[in-house]
Chains A and B, each alone.
Chain A
Amino acid sequence: MIEVESLTKQYGAVRAVDQITFRVEKGEILGFLGPNGAGKTTTMRILTGFLPATSGTARVAGFDVFEKSLEVRKRIGYLPENPPIYPELSVRGYLDAVARLKQVPSERRKARVDAAMEMARVTEKSGELIKRLSRGYKQRVGLAQALVHDPEVIILDEPTVGLDPKQIIEVRHLIKSLAGNHTIILSTHILPEVSMTCDRVVIINQGRIVTDMPVSTGAQERTGEVVLAEVKPGGGGAQAVRTLLERISGVRSVKLETPDGTGHVQARMECQPGRDLRSRMAAELVGQGHELFELRTSRVSLEEIFLRVTTQEPQGSPAAEAPKAETPAAGAEG
């Protein structure tokens, strides 16, 4: 549905997006994850036809986003980071105006506006002026705006920013319910959001794709299970605990930490995927006279992967999304 190939966007000397390539299949929800300024917004803006790319190609539903921009725009519903609302209009008035802009045929317009309000749960506010709505409702009006022309592709830039936890859950449900009929890309820097809503995640950092993997299985397959233990060492001290744990087959690595005061040792074992070694560890530890206080598995979370791939080798200047930010500094020097 969406094919992006070696897409690059250069702002002056800054490369906001650098040779990224990925595909999104029909009906898939792709999470676009990255720290602020990684190039998520820029990529989305290129896909929606708002910005032209410097090089590379992007196709949506088979149409090139640059050559056939209008065809692409017809098929995309887009919620930018700040919902593009007109505060002076009523919710219905606004959505009607958007439906016209999106070229929804007049006989279907009212039904589409109603449907979009229903999906985004703003029906009860349809007559109210948008400026009187809370931040959460404004965000949902923005969401309704992206759905009003029943697009095949939905692109959401940080859709849950500014919502309270209950609203966040509602929006996530909504996004999940849209999958299947719609292809969705959503960007976020909130990690649980990806694991909860997305089928696949693309992690982007400094304009480059650092990871592209399915959400459900990927994390474990790539890195295996992690077991955490809290032990008060008996004879032999911490070193004995380490050697003991390392001997257990299936354990790949052991890390020990000794927080001061307690005399306890925190152990972190990375294990081969698909094996639960906890009972084995417990038996060994207790058998050798160590006192076991806690033993639990910790799945390698997306968070860890995210931190691992985004914190290594901070090279050169970070690819800022806003090259303007550099100007005041330059001015101050001069």
Chain B
Amino acid sequence: MKGAYAVFRKEMSLYFVSPIAYVAVGAFLFLAGVFFQGILAEATEYSMRAAMQAMQFGTPFEFDVPSQVMRGFFGVCGTLMLFIIPMLTMGAYAEEQRRGTMELLMTSPITDLEIVLGKYAAALSLFLIMLLPTVLQMVIMFRASDPEPPWRLLVCGYMGLVLLGGSLLAIGQFISSITESQVVAVFLTFVAFLMLWVMDFVVRGSSGSVLNALGQYVSILQHLNDFVRGVVDSSSLIYYASLIVLGLFLTLRSLDSMRWRRA
């Protein structure tokens, strides 16, 4: 796995000298911040109104601001990721093929699997770096809440986001490996992600049929909801894990086919 580490190092050093990573991470953090602020303001306002109503009628008042905000915010993060991650993955293989550096990687004494794993680990690391500042917002909110909500909720939520992001990255990198053009890669990845997203709407609209259950299972954002509710559902874990493995496996096959079809 020394080879995978070499690829990882190379990828990371390229991320930090290319504008794409900064733009994508910056855009994500900006938008996530705006949404966080909006969701928090709305939730606190709602809770104030509820509290006033409760005082008027003398009924006991209960409104869980942090988990409400978390649910909203993580949903937004998941949606934002559908737009940001294509930008993080579009260059992974497409750019290397266009520049001819794929030839350098593929004639180095490292296996194709090491290339795939190194690149994936690098993309995942960048993604974690992107996600990290949002943890700060959540921690501040959790600390400011009274009573303090269970931290398990936060851990589960982020676990879900990382798994979702990891799946999207694996799919995105695969799509990048089938073309030499970053534009084509980003476009196809968008389309693929949007289809996953649209599936989410379709599922919400229909009611308890077999199709619905199936759609529920296939929809990539549905599985995030379990995690955000603080539930680690093994079926969701398996779902995301299989997406990641599938993405990496297809990428590996795609590298192999590069050798056979390359003229």
Binding site for B on A (CB under 8 A): 11, 16, 45, 48-52, 70-71, 73-74, 76, 78, 80-86, 88-89, 93, 97-98, 100-103, 145, 321-324
Contact = CB atoms under 8 A, between A and B. Distances in A.
Q: Which 9 A-B pairs have the closest CB atoms?
A: A84-B104, A100-B6, A101-B108, A74-B109, A73-B109, A97-B10, A88-B17, A84-B101, A48-B107
Contacts of A70: 109-111
A171 B232 CA distance: 62
A48 B109 CA distance: 10
30 contacts: A11-B263, A45-B103, A45-B262, A49-B107, A50-B103, A50-B106, A50-B262, A51-B259, A51-B262, A52-B259, A52-B260, A70-B109, A76-B107, A78-B107, A80-B104, A81-B100, A85-B99, A86-B10, A86-B14, A88-B14, A88-B18, A89-B13, A89-B14, A97-B6, A101-B3, A101-B108, A101-B110, A103-B6, A103-B109, A322-B263
A158 to B, nearest CB: 13
Interface string B85-100: 0000000000000011
B71 interface: no
B182 to A, nearest CB: 14
B19 to A, nearest CB: 9
B229 interface: no
B48 to A, nearest CB: 51
B121 interface: no
A88 B14 CA distance: 7
Contact of A323 (B6, B104, B260, B263): B263
Most A CB within 10 A of own CB, among B103, B111, B259 = B103
B7 A101 contact: yes
A73 B108 contact: yes
A101 B101 contact: no
Interface string B107-129: 11111000000000000000000
Contacts, number: 85
B109 A324 contact: no
A103 B2 contact: yes
Given A50-B259, A85-B99, A97-B9, 18 more contacts: A50-B262, A51-B260, A52-B260, A70-B109, A71-B109, A80-B104, A83-B100, A84-B104, A86-B14, A86-B101, A93-B13, A97-B10, A98-B108, A100-B9, A101-B3, A101-B10, A102-B109, A103-B108
Given A50-B106, A80-B100, A103-B110, A89 B263 contact: no
A10 to B, nearest CB: 11
B253 to A, nearest CB: 15
A151 B104 CA distance: 14
A309 B30 CA distance: 66
Interface in B7-23: 7, 9-10, 13-14, 17-18
Given A73-B109, A103-B2, A97 B103 contact: no
A309 to B, nearest CB: 25
Nearest to A155: B107
B156 interface: no
A88 B262 CA distance: 26
Contacts of A11: 263
B162 interface: no
